[in-house]
Chain A
């Protein structure tokens, strides 16, 4: 009897879930990136991630930015002809008008940067935003952050710290960056490889976990670290910090400045040491 009742509840729950799917429950914002609270005043992009696919078109109507004193800030995000949605339509990238972020462009000279070091800001995603099913957001979602001085330098690869490998175990490898990096890119651009870099490498399977809002990373291999293998951290040099300086080059670079050693390389490699 008890078993039948459980099944009944299971059936009802399943029916409710299907009804909710059909009608379209109110969508939610899962995260607003960068998740850090301190952002350089030349931060170039924000990403808003939803739990379901959302409607495209006039995204700026659903975004509200204000200063600490409550002053509404318009003209900060770039009104691109193309909205930058992920393929699953659950994440949109908001670009801060590059004309204001880059030094020396007219918009920058005229209006300056949107964010000023030391000031606090509130970025809100409004309830008017609808899912593809036509349901508005469950509530207003807000991220509060404080601007810190501009970041005009590439992340310094010499300051990337890696833990020691514990051979014979699947103990996590820790990786620490000198500053928070773009979390979306970390997922795609950071890998552990084994073999002789750069030509004879194979990807090590395992799972990464991003920590400290993009400043650190943990990697747990599927199979134990082997003592006779050479393991290497491999990072695609397009990996950017929050101000879009990547490992190859600064976002803005004086033309006569000497180029980084990584300028024309696709990858940066760092051999991992064993305990």
Chain B
């Protein structure tokens, strides 16, 4: 009899323990971190796919003595593992964003803890200091969950729907949010005001692709940015099978289907990673607004906005090469995450191909490579620069060396 009581007691305790865990999970501000995006000041938007919320944190810009320098943290995975007390393989990297004021890098992680993936945001600076962000710090929330969960109570099966946020873009007081559903193959583009007012609008975007004339099709948006051309702001959206599409913001209307204009196909068998609007510069020093599209498999594309404005819609298949307005390529590849860092840099996470370590590094805009990634004859002890090289190439190399933290002669 006594044992029976103990059994009941232990079961009751176990259930109480589980309930306490659930209560804790429900109380915390955030259940997952998938996408990070800063506004132009201190607000960090976090796409929490698990709860279906966008959470806006009011961050404080920390002192960062090396602000403006490039990142060169070559054992960043070691730094993360030491900070969190976890093994490699027990966490996933979800996104990277750079604080526009402090220039610190924010890295979204999913960490296995207590039988669940738990959200964490690690903050790093160029000096290699790392710390955890307090996810219960001051924030506001917007729910963009599509379906009311209560309806599923009729079923004895668990609801398996999830919406994964794929990108968030902040532009002039509004958030443009793209998502990918595990159930419906379609676009989901939401627009919400910030500060949040509890509402978001939803537009279903279709795209053209070419075959027997033109077809319309549904497809999820992978990454997006906003550019102004022809006197109007446009969304530039890259799709999962890499068509590049432009949509005037004025076309986005709640609950409507619209069709974007396909201006390029950036190549098959590839997934676009991210898009960054920046100021491009050509060899003659002319500056122009441009968009950098980085890819999982291919080299990056630089798309001058002027070219996008003039691009005509793709109507016919053009062989297997990339087609339409593809700009020019930049030698960026093998990156897992990229983010706009400052006027001169983009920050990126990449794996060292030999050690497998995660690296947090910066690339100079318009150059798009790291000098120290290459062994060149210029670095040989007996190499002497010609007079013309001293004028044209050496200053650039010296600038890159300094930025990458190496001594110059």
Structural contact, A188 and B161, CB atoms closer than 8 A:
yes
- Is A133 an interface position by the 8 A CB rule? yes
Structural contact, A102 and B50, CB atoms closer than 8 A:
no
A8-B3, A84-B180, A99-B241 known; A252-B147 Cβ under 8 A: no
Structural contact, A82 and B151, CB atoms closer than 8 A:
no
Q: Which of B79-116 contact A (CB under 8 A)?
A: 92, 110, 112, 115-116
Structural contact, B184 and A49, CB atoms closer than 8 A:
no
- Is A223 an interface position by the 8 A CB rule? no
Structural contact, B10 and A255, CB atoms closer than 8 A:
no
Write out, one digit per residue, whether chain A residues 66-106 have a CB within 8 A of any chain B CB (1) or not (0).
Answer: 00000000010011111011111111110101110011111
Q: How far is the CA of A186 from the CA of B323 in the complex (A)?
A: 39
- Is A215 an interface position by the 8 A CB rule? no
Cβ 8 A contact of B162, one of A85, A97, A203, A254 = A85
Structural contact, B269 and A75, CB atoms closer than 8 A:
yes
Structural contact, B162 and A79, CB atoms closer than 8 A:
no
A53-B115, A184-B160, A207-B154 known; A11-B6 Cβ under 8 A: yes
- Is A185 an interface position by the 8 A CB rule? yes
A102-B217, A103-B211 known; A14-B92 Cβ under 8 A: no
- B394: A residues at CB distance < 8 A: none
Cβ 8 A contact of B164, one of A3, A84, A208 = A84
Q: Which of B176-225 contact A (CB under 8 A)?
A: 180, 182-186, 208-219, 222
- A105: B residues at CB distance < 8 A: 209, 211, 241, 265, 268
Structural contact, A103 and B215, CB atoms closer than 8 A:
yes
- Is B157 an interface position by the 8 A CB rule? yes
- B215: A residues at CB distance < 8 A: 102-104, 252-255
Q: How far is the CA of A102 from the CA of B256 in the complex (A)?
A: 23
Structural contact, A184 and B320, CB atoms closer than 8 A:
no
Q: How far is the CA of A4 from the CA of B2 in the complex (A)?
A: 9
- B6: A residues at CB distance < 8 A: 11
Q: Which of A11-38 contact B (CB under 8 A)?
A: 11, 14, 18
Structural contact, A132 and B116, CB atoms closer than 8 A:
yes
- B158: A residues at CB distance < 8 A: 86, 88, 90
Q: Which of B205-249 contact A (CB under 8 A)?
A: 208-219, 222, 240-241
- Is A110 an interface position by the 8 A CB rule? yes
Q: How far is the CA of A82 from the CA of B165 in the complex (A)?
A: 9
Structural contact, A44 and B154, CB atoms closer than 8 A:
no
A-B contact pairs, 14 of them (CB 8 A): A11-B7, A47-B160, A53-B116, A81-B166, A86-B159, A87-B160, A88-B158, A98-B185, A103-B211, A105-B265, A184-B160, A207-B154, A252-B217, A254-B212
- B34: A residues at CB distance < 8 A: 82
- Is B273 an interface position by the 8 A CB rule? yes
Structural contact, A14 and B10, CB atoms closer than 8 A:
yes
- B180: A residues at CB distance < 8 A: 80, 82, 84
- A87: B residues at CB distance < 8 A: 49-50, 160-162
- Is B399 an interface position by the 8 A CB rule? no
- B267: A residues at CB distance < 8 A: 106
Structural contact, B185 and A44, CB atoms closer than 8 A:
yes
A102-B217, A107-B269 known; A49-B209 Cβ under 8 A: no
Structural contact, A104 and B212, CB atoms closer than 8 A:
yes
Q: How far is the CA of A53 from the CA of B184 in the complex (A)?
A: 22
Closest A residue to B94 using CB positions: A82
- Is A109 an interface position by the 8 A CB rule? yes
Question: How close is A167's CB to chain B, nearest CB, in angstroms?
Answer: 21
- Is B296 an interface position by the 8 A CB rule? yes
Cβ 8 A contact of B159, one of A4, A99, A188, A191 = A188
Structural contact, B219 and A98, CB atoms closer than 8 A:
yes
- A11: B residues at CB distance < 8 A: 3, 6-7
Beyond known contacts A11-B7, A79-B296, A253-B217: 14 more, CB 8 A cutoff: A11-B6, A14-B7, A56-B117, A84-B162, A87-B162, A102-B217, A104-B317, A106-B320, A132-B112, A132-B117, A188-B151, A207-B155, A207-B156, A252-B211
Q: How far is the CA of A182 from the CA of B211 in the complex (A)?
A: 27
Question: How close is B393's CB to chain A, nearest CB, in angstroms?
Answer: 36
Question: How close is A182's CB to chain B, nearest CB, in angstroms?
Answer: 7
Structural contact, A4 and B3, CB atoms closer than 8 A:
yes
Q: Which of A104, A106, A249, A251 is the most central at the interface, judged by chain B CB atoms within 10 Å of its CB? A: A106
Closest A residue to B322 using CB positions: A106
A75-B269, A85-B162, A207-B156 known; A253-B216 Cβ under 8 A: yes
A98-B241, A253-B217 known; A56-B92 Cβ under 8 A: yes
Q: How far is the CA of A167 from the CA of B151 in the complex (A)?
A: 24
- B222: A residues at CB distance < 8 A: 81
- Is A232 an interface position by the 8 A CB rule? no
Structural contact, A106 and B157, CB atoms closer than 8 A:
no
- Is A7 an interface position by the 8 A CB rule? yes
Q: Which of A169-219 contact B (CB under 8 A)?
A: 182, 184-185, 187-188, 191, 203, 205-208
- B283: A residues at CB distance < 8 A: none
Closest B residue to A89 using CB positions: B117
Cβ 8 A contact of B186, one of A238, A252, A264 = A238
